[in-house]
Amino acid sequence: MKKFRKYLIWLFIILLLLVGLYPLPYFVEAPGAAQPTSQVIQVQRHPDHQKGEFLFTTVAVKSGTALNLLLAKILPFQEILPKKAVLGDNNNQEYERTQRYFMENAGNSAIEVACKKAHVSYHKQYLGIYVMSILPQSHFKKHLRVGDTITQIDHQEFSNAQAFQHYVKTRQPGQKVTLTYKRQGKTRQVTRSLISLNKQHQSGIGITLVDHLRVHSRPAVQIHAGAIGGPSAGLMFALQIYAQLVRQDLTHGQIIAGTGTIDSQGNVGPIGGIDKKVYAAQKQHARIFFAPQEKITRHMKHVHPHYQTNYQLAQRAVQRLHSPMKIVPVTSFTDAINYLQTHH
C-alpha cells in the first residue's frame, strides 16, 4: 500500500511538471539584462578609458508555459502577451532572424551617427535585399527564407531596394526571373515565376524586403552582440562608439543606462518594454537612464487616448521602484551628447 501511495505521489509530481512546462500560445515579457556597451563594442586603436559605464538594456522573452504564466502574475514588471502579438506571421526561427537584422541595422546606424559627429570617415557597402517575410502564394516560398539576402535578379545588381522593385514592376505576372541570394555565406540561385500582387496586376516576387547594408569606418568599429536581437540598443551603441572615437569620458564616472532606436540621421525612436529595461538598469545601480521622448500627434491621441510615451512609462517605473535614477528624455543622439557634456 505504501509503495502504491509513493507511486501515486511521484506520478502526481511528474504530471504537475508536465503541465507546468507545457508551452501555451503565449510569451512572457520580463526584465532582461543591463549590459556594458564596452563589452560588445571594439574601436580599432581607440580603447575605452571611461571611468563609468554605458549600459544597453534588454527585455527577456520567455516561453508561455503554465509555470511562467503563473510567475508572471506574481513577479513585478512581467507581462503576458499572445504569441501572435510577438511573432506576427513568423515562426520562432524567422522572428529571431528578423531581430538579428534589426540589431545589425542598429549597429550600422550607430557607427554612422557616431562617425559623423566625430568627423571620422566611413562608407556604406550595399549587400542586397534582406528578406523579411514571404507571402504564402509566392512561387519562391519553398526556396527563399526569412534572413536571405538577394544580391541579383536576372544577373543584375542594384544599389537599393527601390531600384530592385522598379525592375520587378517592369516584368509581367507569370514571367520567370532568376534570383541570386546568400544564406549563411553561401551563394544560391533559383528561377521561378512572378505573381500578381493586386487588382492592378502589379508583378512581384511575393516578399517584404529592406535594404541590407554594412557600414565601414576608419578606425574600424566592430559590434559583437551575440544572440541579442532587436533595434533598441542603437542609441547606447552610438554613445559608446562616439566616446571612444573622440577619446572622451562622457560618463564622468557614472553608470548610465538607456534605450532607443537610432536612424542614420541620429533620431531616437521608441521601443517596447521600457519599464522592464528601467528595472534592469536599476538592478545595476544606474544613475541616469536615457528614454525616447516621441511626439504624440492628434491622430495618436484620437486612436489611443491613453497612450503614454516611453519617457512617461519610464518615469512611472522609477516611481514604482522608489529609485533615485534620473530619467532623461531624448529625441536625438545630439540631445544625449548635450546632456552628458553639460551635466557632470
pLDDT in tens, the chain (344 residues): 566 666 656 555 555 555 556 778 999 999 999 999 999 999 999 999 999 999 999 999 999 888 899 899 999 999 999 999 999 889 999 999 999 999 999 999 999 999 999 999 999 999 999 999 999 999 999 999 999 999 999 999 999 999 999 999 999 999 999 999 999 999 999 999 999 988 777 899 999 999 999 999 999 999 999 999 999 999 999 999 999 999 999 999 999 999 999 999 999 999 999 999 999 999 999 999 999 998 888 888 888 888 899 999 999 999 999 999 999 999 999 999 999 999 87
d(Cα 5, Cα 10) in Å, to the nearest integer? Answer: 9
Task: Tell me if the bond preceding 292 is cis, omega within 30° of 0.
Answer: no
**CATH code reported for the domain at 125-214:** 2.30.42.10
CB 242 within 8 A of CB 334: no
- The pLDDT, as a whole number, for residue 324 is 96
- The pLDDT, as a whole number, for residue 304 is 85
- The pLDDT, as a whole number, for residue 279 is 98
232 as an active site residue: the answer is: yes
CA distances to 1, 52, 56, 240 from 233, rounded to whole Å, are 60, 18, 6, 11
- The pLDDT, as a whole number, for residue 246 is 97
Q: Considering just the CA atoms, what is the radius of gyration of the chain in Å?
A: 24
d(Cα 308, Cα 133) in Å, to the nearest integer? Answer: 30
Class for the domain spanning 25-121+218-342: alpha beta
- The pLDDT, as a whole number, for residue 203 is 93
* Cell matching residue 161: 531596394
- What is the full DSSP assignment across 112-162? HHHHHHHT--EEEEEEEEEEEEE-TT-TTTTT--TT-EEEEETTB--SSHH
Residue 179 phi, psi dihedral angles, 5° rounding: -105, 135
CB 197 within 8 A of CB 206: yes
Three-state SS for 181? strand
- The pLDDT, as a whole number, for residue 7 is 61
Q: How many CA atoms, within 13 angstroms, populate the side-chain half-sphere of residue 326?
A: 11
Collect all residues with Cβ–Cβ distance below 8 Å to 174 and sequence separation of at least 6: 193, 194
- The pLDDT, as a whole number, for residue 296 is 82
- What is the full DSSP assignment across 192-204? EE-EE-STT--EE
- The pLDDT, as a whole number, for residue 200 is 73
- The pLDDT, as a whole number, for residue 331 is 98
d(Cα 186, Cα 328) in Å, to the nearest integer? Answer: 45
- The pLDDT, as a whole number, for residue 60 is 95
> Domains of the chain: which residue ranges?
25-121+218-342, 125-214
State the catalytic residue, choosing from 232, 276, 323, 332: 232
d(Cα 61, Cα 302) in Å, to the nearest integer? Answer: 31
Counting every residue written for the chain, the total comes to 344
State the catalytic residue, choosing from 109, 277, 323, 332: 277
117 as an active site residue: the answer is: no
- The pLDDT, as a whole number, for residue 21 is 60
- The pLDDT, as a whole number, for residue 67 is 87
Which helix H or strand E contains 247, and what residues bound it? none
